[in-house]
A and B are shown apart, each in its own frame.
Chain A
Amino acid sequence: MLDKAQKKSRFESIGLYLPERVQSTSELMRGLACEPFFDLEELTGIVNRRVCHESEDSFSLALKAAQNCLRESKYSPKDLEAVIYVSISRFNGKLLAQFDPAMSLVLKRKLGANQALNFDLANACAGMCTGTHVLDSMIRAGVVKNGMVLSGECITPIAAVALQEIRATDPQQVASLTVGDAATACILEACPVGEPGIEFTRFVTAAAFSELCLGLPSDERGGVAMYSDASALHMAAIKRCPRFLEKILGDQGVRLSDHDFFIPHQTAANAIRVGTEAIARFLEDDLPSVVSVIGEYGNTSSTSHFLALHTAIADKRIKQGDRVLFLVVASGLVIGAVSFTVSFLEAASANEDHSDGSLQRARSRRVG
């Protein structure tokens, strides 16, 4: 009998939904109430981001990503054994945050996944990867045979507040201007013995740094806001991530360069470049091809790794057989990694071009 530690799960399908509206950084910055004291595009490399329509919310975004994911999956909703909702935002009606019952309950009903067990997870920008880690464990332990993780991240309301509240003397909301809206979903299933899938997942919370980034309603003028000491958070992460990867890659007997693609959390172009190069330098290893979609989509919080993965598959950069490493860094301070082989995803064929040439909707499908 196969040891449960040796059992694997794999991604069966991934789905994406992006709101139609594209907002450029220059358009966003025209709304800054104070005199600009920084060049956001130069600072972050972010040119555009997607922004929800006022009729959209976390629920509707997540639903569309889930439907796109299911459309190309062999599973029908009634086959799903788990539905896990993982967004930071939990808006079910404009800025109406729903706490009870769980968002996953109303989403699974809407999807028709009535037999699935459901719960929500909250873990800041680590949401989709935390959900993957949890569901992977549950599949390997035999609690369920498959399931869906989904996030509808309607996060740009924090940018609207930041535009009004940022001051040169109080820059702790500057990072709020980097965010973009997106929704992603993935289906995991038990992996047949001997086939490649999710090779390992490891996470840790360095809670000594848990108060460096706080998202909560503004008490100045309403709406939701995020207050971060971005510099301290970056320093704490950049000191720990290389050592974390050294430890977990060593435990697994693999090297960074055994991966074809490296997808870090998408925060800012410079942070991605500096952070990944520092990791390769520390590990004395070659850096795999780094996937960055920050320029076009900004920081889409809990969905960022899956948005980057989906985009690279749709662009035919990532192909079957490629090994991918997600590096997760999130408020908490959460540090994690998901290493997997793309064994059955094929480039999305359902991209819809808009008049501006942007990718509105794309999905990946199982082919084998």
Chain B
Amino acid sequence: MRTKIIATAVCNEPDLDESVEFSARAGRTALDESALDEADIGLLINIGVYRDSNIQEPALAALIQGRIGLNGDPLSKKGPAFSGAGTFSFDLLNGACGLFNAVQVAHSFMETGPTRAALVVSSNVHPSRRRHEGFPFAHLGAAMLLTDSATSSGFHSISLQVSQGEYLGSRTVADLGAGANGRSQLDFEVDADYGERLGIFAARGVAKYIMQEKIDVKRIKYALVDLSGSDGAGALTRELALSTDQCIDVNARYGASFTSFPILGYHMACAQGVASGDQLLFVSAGAGLTLACGLYVV
């Protein structure tokens, strides 16, 4: 079985500044655009990294599920018994690569349990819930609805790589003991050579992935390439001999979107036009250094 994307949605309404609401609206739109019954959504995974007011618990995913109104109480409405329907929600954090772990987890749940579909949501908003000069990511929400497919459509492979050694390149922290403004704390510590080293690491990692998976770059319909916190994606696509027609500039359309990038990329690819059998190459890299590559067949 492959894991297939059946709907994506974006919320970038300018009057919003709360990641829970961005994700909830995007999630609701994705659900409405699919033919799925809400009872089918057994899993909700939030992959956004930054947290409104630096909230530590519950999972933002639970707040998002509540805001969507998705199977909010598993007690059956018809009686006191526990209904079979229910959604399990949690946050999954792995920076720029979070979506790809979420796909692995969703696949595992659908393959081995009663889960028929999984909703993945993503939003990164400054914890102060205000537009902040030092915050590099666009305030928006994205959602992707996944289900299992017995056809060739879906993710064909996912590869996650981490650089060796201690180098992180970039680290985002919040000093929650720094006084009464802990709810709006967030600091980006970025090394001067981060962009350059991320570009080199990603180029080697993607080349290795393409060789291992025997991918013909010419057959790629669209490449969705993001080096988070760096402007090196253009150089990487040139190094991979991808033409401009094959590249979708998500950041030009939405701004830097971090964990949401691959969802937005797929959303834009569908809007530009894809046909059954088209191949999409996902590449996301970021702090750590971390790299995720995925080949998706429409």
- Is this pair of chains taken from one and the same complex? yes
Task: Give the nearest-CB partner of A86 in chain B.
Answer: B90
Residue A5 lies at the interface, judged by CB distance under 8 Å to chain B: yes
Residue B179 lies at the interface, judged by CB distance under 8 Å to chain A: yes
One of B206-214, B216-224, B234-242, B282-290 at the interface: B282-290
B1 to A: closest C-beta gap in Å: 9
Partner of A157, one of B80, B174, B177, B178: B177
A4-B111, A224-B56 are contacts. A119–B183 as well, Cβ < 8 Å? no
Report the interface size for chain A: residues with CB under 8 A from the other chain.
76
A117-B101, A206-B74, A217-B182 are contacts. A331–B176 as well, Cβ < 8 Å? no
Residue A348 lies at the interface, judged by CB distance under 8 Å to chain B: no
Residue A232 lies at the interface, judged by CB distance under 8 Å to chain B: no
A83 to B: closest C-beta gap in Å: 11
B284 to A: closest C-beta gap in Å: 13
Residue B66 lies at the interface, judged by CB distance under 8 Å to chain A: yes
Interface flags, B56-95, vs A, CB<8A=1, else 0: 1111111101100011111100001110101111111111
Q: Which residues of A contact B186 (CB under 8 A)?
A: 99
- In contact, B62 and A204 (Cβ under 8 angstroms): no
Bound-state CA distance A332–B74 (Å) is 13
Bound-state CA distance A101–B101 (Å) is 14
- In contact, B286 and A100 (Cβ under 8 angstroms): yes
Partner of B108, one of A114, A119, A134, A215: A134
- In contact, A121 and B87 (Cβ under 8 angstroms): no
A115 to B: closest C-beta gap in Å: 9
Size range of the chain B interface in the assembly: 35 or more
Residue A92 lies at the interface, judged by CB distance under 8 Å to chain B: yes
Residue B172 lies at the interface, judged by CB distance under 8 Å to chain A: yes
Partner of B104, one of A95, A143, A219, A220: A143
Residue B135 lies at the interface, judged by CB distance under 8 Å to chain A: no
Interface residues of B in 220-254 (CB under 8 A from A): none
Q: Which residues of B contact A118 (CB under 8 A)?
A: 94, 162
Apart from A4-B111, A7-B112, A207-B72, 19 more pairs, CB < 8 Å:
A5-B113, A90-B56, A93-B173, A97-B173, A105-B290, A119-B92, A123-B62, A124-B62, A137-B113, A140-B111, A141-B108, A143-B108, A203-B88, A208-B72, A218-B180, A222-B180, A223-B176, A243-B80, A332-B59
Q: Name B's A-contacting residues (CB within 8 A).
A: 44, 49-51, 53-63, 65-66, 70-75, 80-82, 84, 86-95, 98, 101, 104-105, 107-109, 111-113, 160, 162, 164, 166, 168, 170-183, 185-186, 286-288, 290
Q: List 9 A-B contacts (CB under 8 A).
A: A98-B173, A99-B173, A100-B95, A137-B105, A143-B104, A213-B58, A218-B180, A226-B57, A333-B62
